[in-house]
Structure 1
Amino acid sequence: MFKKILLAVFIFYALFGFILFPLIVKSQIENIAAQETSSKLSVDDVCFNPILRCKSEACCLRHWMKRRLHR
Structure 2
Amino acid sequence: MPYIAANGLLVLAPAAVFLALRARAGLLDPVFYGVQALELVAGAANLALIGLNVRDGLRLRQRAPGH
TM-score (norm 2): 0.37
Larger RCO (alpha carbons 8 Å, 6+ apart): 2
Bigger fraction of residues in helix = 2
Query: Which has a greater percent of strand?
Result: 1
TM-score by length of 1: 0.36
